[in-house]
Chains A and B, each alone.
Chain A
Amino acid sequence: MIDVLIFATLNGLVTGLLLFLLASGLTLIFSMMGVLNFAHASFYMLGAYCAFSIGQYTGFWPALILAPVLVGGFGALVERYGLRHVHKSGHVAELVFTFGLAFLIEQAVQSFWGADTKNYQPPALLDFPLFTLFGQDFPAYKAFMLLVSIGIFIGLYWGLTRTRTGMIIQAATSHPQTVANLGHNLPLIHTLVFGAGSALAALAGVLAGPVLTTFPGMAATLGSIVFVIVVIGGLGSLTGALVASLLIGLLQSWAIAVDVGMADLLHWVGVEFPPDHPLKDIWRLSLPQLAPVLPYLLLVLMLIFHPSGLFGKREG
């Protein structure tokens, strides 16, 4: 039991920090522009696919840098020529635009890369078990993912709180007019932040591609979860995004690992149920089955009882 828990925790950390790479960009973009970017996970998918294609010519390491740069540039273009154009039609139109973009990118990936799963492998350099615990291997690549994610988090934190650019970005989220009056190019800041957020998402994609498989549905499977995270963490809060990412990552990982069901619970209380009971689906529910449902359940409960999220400010 203890070995299962340890590995579940490690895997949960890997997933959680990966989710944070996505959630941090999303929440930064939201706090600055007020747009929840539906296409954020699509940039993550584009990152994985670009890295796969580039990697066929150059190998993994150059692709690790090139793919996020490429996707970040694409994200900046989307902001400059797409989102800014839609901005005047209001927030609902912006949300609908990013939704359409996500749909479009998924179709484009399916049309030009194919609907099949890509054979995107971790680099040979990291293709060995880092350590073996209770007879189970922990791959070095996952440790590398963990390391990169932590590095990005520290870099992001330092960059936003200690550098001049970070200060301007923070000021642009809270007092956009003042920042513009001081002579900073506010639209350019928006474009850059959007591009940087897309690049972070793409980096997450490059890292996750070999582990979570590279296929056209990868954006849809992760996209809604990232939304859940930024809402639970509190829209616009970077700390909230980190806490919620880890929470969701661990929660899902543990739920899959711990095979406890309603039947066990009822048995423990001393209640048995007939197998042909009309509500048998509910009596038979088990935690691994519920794992995919948990984030959404948490989201709905959060929005009902504490809409501003864990670390969010009160809504104006």
Chain B
Amino acid sequence: MYFNYRMLIVDLDEKEIYTEELSKKLLENTLGGCALGAALQYKNLKPNIDPLSGDNVIIIAPGALTGSLIPTASKTAFFAKSPLTNGWGEAVAGGSIGVELRSCGYEALMIKGKGDQPVQIRIENDEAGIEDTDLWGKDTYECSEKLSRGGFSTACIGIAGENLVKIASIECDGRQTGRIGLGAVMGSKRLKAIAVKGSRDIEMAGKNIEGIARKWYLNLINHPSYKDDTKYGSGEFLDWMNSERGTFPTKNWQKSVFEDRKEIDPYYWAPRYSVKNNACFSCTKPCGKMFTIKEGKYAGTKVDGPEYETLYSLGGEVCNSDIEVLAKANELCDRYGLDTISTGVTIGFAMELYERGILTKEDVGLKLNFGDGDALLEMIRKIAYREGIGDTLAEGSAQAARIIGKNAERYAIHVKGLEPPAYDARGLKGMALAFATSPRGACHLRSGFYGLDLTGKWWKFENVDRFSTEGKGEAVATMEDVMSLYDTLGVCKFSRHVYLVEGLPELVKAVTGLKFSVEELLHIGERTNWIKKLINLKEGLTRKDDSLPPRMTEDEIKEGPSKGSKITVEELQIMLDDYYAARGWDSEGKPNEEQVKEVDAL
């Protein structure tokens, strides 16, 4: 028996811990991870609550294959209402907390209520407890180092989460659930950390899992992309993104090519600074770099990174061309528990306001020009501690713009409140639609559509024209279903060119014993996207929120291979109509009755 038909519930209000049965029907219809979490949030999360109150519910669900032998399958999904977007909240990380939860005999962990003083949760098989913690105030490096002693896997927050910074992340054994501010949700519950260790056998259905694992292991390491992906990490294509596509957002999206990119290109820094590779749990294709600075101003800096998005957010976005400053900024974000994307984009936004005179030196407390490394590092600290202007920026760029006023909103780059990753959607129109429709705000990983726009093909898609709106509605919907499926199974999206959809039924059957066709698996992803949409509708989000910021719709790309391109409001509306139609939703983006019925029946 592979599945554990139960969930552990920790109620911090009542200081009670108990289990709840998860039905066979629910698990066989959702499998785990993203699909399971969405179904549980649909039932358990009341709409219109304050996301930073005890009413918010955190759910942690390992992917269906997490804890099996399938290489890269370690992903564990975290859910709660987002304090940054006030809507659907999910974030996925690759630590080992998922396999440990499954080893304890749980398919999910739910945390409700709020501690009255700082607490940590410790779970060891059937023993679970809410403990006072002496780790409050410690950074994530120290917290996970201390808490993991004894063989525990951990999820913890840093100073930013404690201070309810709305772009705070959760650290999972050196990996992060970066986006949408789940660190602040833990902070609001006064929950510093979760430590899990299990010792139950995980029994898989198939007889020859080693043979299947071997096959996929070899698929991974023999793939043509393996060498560069492991040598240079996810930033491997950074130069190509600039020189060949011109879609590397720079200077708060005022530019799309970063001329001073020489040092932030992994081909420059990996051989000089990376002392070894780092991997997520169970991943035999390590994309992480252990960046180490041995001498000079930033001597002692050690960080697992910077990966591609961070090279943009703490590099191009803020015009920082100094790789040592970038690595230090990355380390600070990780230690404080801050999402590097949202942090960098929010600081880039503040830099533009400063250069336009909307923010002054008196407002900020320092000079805040693009390219000023010291200012970048100081602003990260100010955000984590909510100090001075940092208190405003800690709300994320959308809310900060509203507080600052003076037309600052014109320069805030976000969708639904979430700052975008490193794909200039003006020259990638499918990605533009996908930013708008993503249920958690501007995100590349809900759809992965940048891959199709940038290379013109993936899986069954061919001849994708990145400047065209044609056919994007249906294609984006399909890709969202595929990506939700990966988050349901727990395999790595960075290896999706290896784990092509056709291969997934074999893995699911071998591990769980359940037979699914490709279509049936994709339907799980599709239904999960209905649920995310239904939750957002309940939160009051409308078609108007499936939008793009004015910089993407009004300002065209000024230079490089995508020069002259922008995504007009009209183009977006046409693609949105196509997208809603492809999903079977009405023109307001509301799922139809049959879909609602199917979701209710879960």
A associates with B: no
Name B residues whose Cβ lies closer than 8 Å to a Cβ of A.
Answer: none
